[in-house]
Amino acid sequence: MFSKIEVNGDGACDLYRFLKSGHPDEEGNEDIGWNFTKFLVGKDGQVLARFGPATTPEQIAEDLPGHL
């Protein structure tokens, strides 16, 4: 649980490969460029949205009705 994992490149953890796949950032990059990138995942396990590091939880909460 506390071991280091890769989030980009060939050695990326399967979870991050799944989260990033088809969900690029605002600049069109799927790679995670900085800590605190956030993903909104639905009840069915599908990624609904990706948010950048500067996005606050309050901003995500404003977007929730559009994703539910």
Q: What is the tens place of the pLDDT at every residue in 15-60?
A: 999 999 999 998 999 999 888 999 999 889 999 999 999 999 999 9
CA distance 14 to 57: 25
Whether 37 is in a domain gets the answer: yes
Q: How many domains does the chain have?
A: 1
Whether 45 is in a domain gets the answer: yes
Which range of residues forms the domain containing residue 37?
14-67
* Predicted model pTM: 0.82
The reported pLDDT for the residue numbered 18 is: 96
Kindly give the residue spans of alpha helices, DSSP state H, lying in 1-68. Answer: 14-20, 57-67
Whether 56 is in a domain gets the answer: yes
Whether 54 is in a domain gets the answer: yes
Whether 32 is in a domain gets the answer: yes
